[in-house]
Chains A and B, each alone.
Chain A
């Protein structure tokens, strides 16, 4: 096994995914095959290969520094699960 239960649980925490105890073994098996495939790719010698940041044969378009947007406050706040008249509201997060 290339990946264990603990790692799966940790990844789930980072990805904010709810994973139940009974699901973990299935996920371990499927993720394991993914890691195995990646390891296979890692065997290829890429020393002479230029890293590819994007598969498209194009470069980034640049935008002039101009303000083109107006306030979308009402629309955005209305889409939120919870909001008051000014702010999005989320369960307290304090450092």
Chain B
């Protein structure tokens, strides 16, 4: 009965992420890798495992893997890496083995910093990232008595990124997965398309009583292809394991599939019998030997990552933390923002962020457009911000100018001039307007004089209405306060 006696459990999770590399051709042959082709039209004799064919390694894959290693600060990028055969029999792999890197992977001992569930920085160690080939696809719903095999995906290059079991909750696992996704997409080595299977995740999950050193028995959840499902699948598996142990059972080390429709995991039968892959080094492939200069040459392709950008935006440009994150995590948006900020003289980056996330994003949505469509160039945007900073226009009018700028070459100055949008800052002119309004609204003015502060805003509103938003709000306030 007592809650104090109830075991507290903690979760240990490690992720294996399969990242399809964005190469034109396959890992070991010049076969097209484009997604969505007619079945079996992108299969060379090599992928079909015709005897006598030999693999030739695609250098782009090597370069991409090195870039990933550099991006996660890998302590080891192997100057000599080798390929091994992982033997298993399945119809989507005609060779009956997968070429992978078991003993000498290209990348080892990297790390990634994520936020834990309390918002603190946490280091997640990456054990390794190795190069391997993808398998074909089996289609089970075409025939009742057959499985139909499409080998187009067979031999597509992957890097499998293996984390240490450093993740402590499903939410952390998702955050880690998103960070890896951000890295590979920003590097441009993977298109990051989860629906098309370019980015897939297996999760190793175990539970143990809080304080216990040894790890509990783990299960492996296979091929989860959305961020949401990763979280759900892990949480449901944690629950299953705890319930099982608490009712006196033990967890079996096995591979399980997540069924999204039923929100449950179930064992995968085929994987259970054949857990012996009989690895050996592939005699068809020689060691891949590179020098330090080769590795260093890839450094030029490593961009600034969102985590670094967020820091720069907050510390250097005084952006609000939330704004910094939204902009930094969107590659196109952050490139646009950076281009604008670079052109600013007096205007503040913070105002640029406000306008981009506010009025500009609204315009994008309304026109169903993307940042990269360049409907407002960075130069136009910067000019608009300068006009705003100089007090030529108000924030409200900035939106109007932006709408007029959309899909035209007109500069902010041209639009302000042509449309007569310049802010009224002439004290004499404003004073006349204010007096006129007071004259027409004597009772409201009386209330204001008697201390009804709501009336203050009423008068500011009236002046804005009269001037079609062109009055300098600060000046209107000063004028009213002086009355």
User: What residue in chain B is nearest A57 (Cβ atoms)?
Assistant: B286
B342 CB–A CB distance under 8 Å = no
Q: How far is the CB of A84 from chain B (nearest CB, A)?
A: 7
CB <8 Å contact, B278 and A87: no
Given A13-B273, A87-B39, A92-B140, do A63 and B150 touch, yes or no (CB 8 Å)? no
For A62, list chain B residues within 8 Å (CB). Answer: 57-59, 62, 288
For B140, list chain A residues within 8 Å (CB). Answer: 92-94
CB <8 Å contact, A87 and B150: yes
Which residues of chain B from 265 to 287 have a CB within 8 Å of any chain A CB? 268-270, 273-274, 276, 278, 281, 283, 285-287
For B1, list chain A residues within 8 Å (CB). Answer: none
B89 CB–A CB distance under 8 Å = yes
For A86, list chain B residues within 8 Å (CB). Answer: 38-40, 148, 150
- Report how far A69 CA is from B48 CA in the complex, Å: 13
A4 CB–B CB distance under 8 Å = no
User: What residue in chain B is nearest A63 (Cβ atoms)?
Assistant: B56
Given A65-B58, A65-B60, A87-B148, do A59 and B287 touch, yes or no (CB 8 Å)? yes
The residue that A89 contacts in the complex, of B59, B62, B143, B269, with Cβ under 8 A, is B143
Interface residues as binary, B25-38 with A (CB distance below 8 Å gives 1, 0 otherwise)? 10001111000001
B444 CB–A CB distance under 8 Å = no
- Report how far A67 CA is from B34 CA in the complex, Å: 10
B43 CB–A CB distance under 8 Å = yes
CB <8 Å contact, A60 and B149: no
- Report how far A22 CA is from B62 CA in the complex, Å: 50
CB <8 Å contact, A65 and B25: yes
Classify the interface of chain B: helix, strand, loop or mixed: loop
For A53, list chain B residues within 8 Å (CB). Answer: 82, 103-104, 281, 286-287
For B45, list chain A residues within 8 Å (CB). Answer: 72, 76
B24 CB–A CB distance under 8 Å = yes
- Report how far A54 CA is from B59 CA in the complex, Å: 20
A73 CB–B CB distance under 8 Å = yes
For A66, list chain B residues within 8 Å (CB). Answer: 24-25, 30
CB <8 Å contact, A92 and B30: no
Which residues of chain A from 59 to 88 have a CB within 8 Å of any chain B CB? 59-69, 71-73, 76-77, 82, 84, 86-88
The residue that A59 contacts in the complex, of B103, B104, B147, B289, with Cβ under 8 A, is B289
Interface residues as binary, A41-62 with B (CB distance below 8 Å gives 1, 0 otherwise)? 0000000000101101011111
Given A69-B30, A72-B45, A93-B147, do A54 and B142 touch, yes or no (CB 8 Å)? no
The interface centre, meaning the residue of B23, B25, B96 with most chain A CB atoms within 10 A of its CB, is B25
Q: How far is the CB of B426 from chain A (nearest CB, A)?
A: 65
CB <8 Å contact, B281 and A68: no
- Report how far A92 CA is from B147 CA in the complex, Å: 5
For B87, list chain A residues within 8 Å (CB). Answer: 14
Q: How far is the CB of B55 from chain A (nearest CB, A)?
A: 9
CB <8 Å contact, B30 and A68: yes
CB <8 Å contact, B91 and A93: yes
CB <8 Å contact, A89 and B23: no
CB <8 Å contact, B289 and A87: no
B44 CB–A CB distance under 8 Å = yes
For B138, list chain A residues within 8 Å (CB). Answer: 93
Given A14-B278, A62-B59, A66-B30, do A91 and B147 touch, yes or no (CB 8 Å)? yes
26 CB-based A-B contacts, threshold 8 Å: A10-B276, A13-B274, A51-B103, A53-B103, A54-B286, A54-B287, A58-B286, A61-B286, A62-B59, A65-B58, A65-B59, A66-B24, A67-B24, A67-B30, A71-B43, A72-B43, A76-B43, A76-B48, A77-B40, A86-B39, A86-B148, A87-B150, A91-B146, A93-B90, A93-B91, A93-B147
4 closest A-B pairs by CB:
A68-B30, A87-B148, A65-B60, A62-B59
A14-B89, A53-B82, A65-B58 provided; 12 other pairs, C-beta below 8 A? Answer: A14-B276, A53-B287, A54-B82, A59-B287, A60-B286, A61-B286, A63-B59, A64-B59, A71-B40, A72-B43, A76-B45, A93-B91
